[in-house]
Structures are given as structure tokens and as C-alpha cells.
Amino acid sequence: MIDVLVVDDDFMVARIHRGFVERIDGFRVVGTASTGEQAVAALDELRPHLVLLDLYLPDMFGLDVVTRIRAARHDCDVLVISAAREAEVVRRAVRYGAVNYLLKPFGFDELRTRLEQYAAHRTALRTAAVADQADVDRMLFRNGSVGGAPALPRGLSPETAELVERILRGQTGALSASECADLAGISRVSARRYLEHFSSSGRAKVTLKYGVAGRPERRYAWVA
């Protein structure tokens, strides 16, 4: 059983998220918190395995809670749930080790997919044996695909690929290369290369949006 702490300053939202989690096999909510200080205190007392962390808390920014978690050497993971769409915030969350980043508002299915991916990856890490470099690479691969991912084409970096992937995963719908570029803080051409890579490897699907004139716009969505 994976113990979850729900952190959100809106008690109604926290109640909804708690209800979502408790509908998913293998997960249980052991507590909720509405401020950063309450979250830190709950971590000390409850020792959850996973924190669903809102970023806009009344007393501190959510990623500062992550800093406190790491300083206290708590062995738990963080899944960010936030309305924050700024590219730098997403990048910081990735650097701070968030296992996923889910944009509000979201539905039950979006959260269930990410929690099931997390559970599968957590199980794989706990049971993995390291015999060669491939085993190490699979353990280090943090996107929930425990079998690893197709090799990146030349010129694409793993760090940016992970960032683009997390942005795609956090969307409730499809987005264009320009929109992805704005969120990731990279050029449209670069974003298009990463998106096309995910499309060609079967991890993203492409739909066409037709306008009044000109070529249709390609829009990308992550394939759960």
C-alpha cells in the first residue's frame, strides 16, 4: 500500500483529490495539509511514501516544502499538482525531483494514470537487480516507463526530452509546438523535434487543427 499526503490550501479541492486517490487500488490517503508548515509536520508524523503537492500555499511556495523534505532526509516522492504553467516553475519542479507535474484542473482519469505509472515504477525500482549498464539506465529513467525509452536522435538531450514529456503529461488536451516551446523555454523548432520524436515512438499522438487558410496545425497529446 502506498501512503499519500494531500497538500492543498483549498479544503474542498483537497477533499476531491483525497476521494480520487482513495478510488485507486494500492493507494491510501494518510493525511491532508493546507499550509507548508502543516505539510512538513505531517511528513514528520505520518511518513508518507508520496506527497500530492500544490504549489500556491499561504505560507510558502510548494517547492520550498520540497527543500524542507530533502533537508530532513524524508524518503518520499513528490507529485506536483498546480495551476502554475510558467516554464521556469515546471523546470524547477523537474530539478527538485518531482515524479510528475499535473496541471489543475484535472479529472480522475488523469490522476489515476499518473499514480498507476508511479506505482509500477516504484515497484520496479524496489525489485530491480543491477547486472549491467542497461539495468542502471532503467533505474535512472524517471518517467514511469519502467522498460526504458527509445534512444534519442542526435541533437536531442535527455534533460529537455524529460521536460517536454512532463509538459505533455500535464496537459488535459493537445498542444502545439509553439505552446510547448513557451512552456519549456525553448525554440519552436526544438520543441517540434522533441514532439515529433515522441510521436514517432508512439508515446504521443498527433491531431490536425484546420484553420481558415494555410496548412493545418499539428497538435500533440501524450499517450497514457
In-domain check, residue 129? no
Q: Which pLDDT score is estimated for 200? A: 75
**164 and 103, same structural domain?**
no
DSSP three-state, residue 125: helix
**155 and 115, same structural domain?**
no
**114 and 174, same structural domain?**
no
**Residues 1-31 pLDDT 10s:** 999 999 999 999 999 999 999 999 999 999 9
**12 and 89, same structural domain?**
yes
Which residues constitute the domain of residue 97?
2-119
**171 and 99, same structural domain?**
no
In Å, how far are 5, 23, 48, 198 from 169, measured between CA atoms? 21, 21, 24, 12
**104 and 58, same structural domain?**
yes
- Segment (H or E) for 79: strand 77-82
In-domain check, residue 85? yes
- Number of structural domains the chain divides into: 2
Domain boundary among 102, 119, 136: 119
* Close Cβ partners of 150 (under 8 Å, ≥ 6 residues apart): 201
> Domain with 169 in it: what CATH number?
1.10.10.10
The number of beta carbons lying within 10 Å of the beta carbon of residue 164 is 25
Q: Which pLDDT score is estimated for 143? A: 44
Q: Which pLDDT score is estimated for 144? A: 41
For the record, the C-alpha cell of 224 comes out as 497514457
* Close Cβ partners of 85 (under 8 Å, ≥ 6 residues apart): 103, 183
In-domain check, residue 18? yes
**159 and 115, same structural domain?**
no
Q: What angle do CA 137, 142, 144 make, to 5 degrees?
A: 110
Q: Which pLDDT score is estimated for 172? A: 86
**88 and 175, same structural domain?**
no
Mean pLDDT, the chain, whole residue set: 86
The whole-model pTM stands at 0.63
In Å, how far are 62, 148, 168, 178, 198 from 184, measured between CA atoms? 20, 23, 10, 10, 15
Task: Assess contact for 79 and 100: CB atoms under 8 A.
Answer: yes
> Domain with 71 in it: what CATH number?
3.40.50.2300
**19 and 95, same structural domain?**
yes
* Close Cβ partners of 221 (under 8 Å, ≥ 6 residues apart): 168, 171, 173, 174, 175, 204, 205, 207
**115 and 14, same structural domain?**
yes
In-domain check, residue 141? no
Half-sphere exposure of 71 (CA within 13 A, CB side): 7
Q: Which pLDDT score is estimated for 33? A: 97
**186 and 109, same structural domain?**
no
**Does residue 141 register a pLDDT over 60?**
no
DSSP three-state, residue 136: helix
**Residues 85-120 pLDDT 10s:** 888 888 889 888 898 899 898 889 889 988 988 888
* Close Cβ partners of 196 (under 8 Å, ≥ 6 residues apart): none
**110 and 63, same structural domain?**
yes
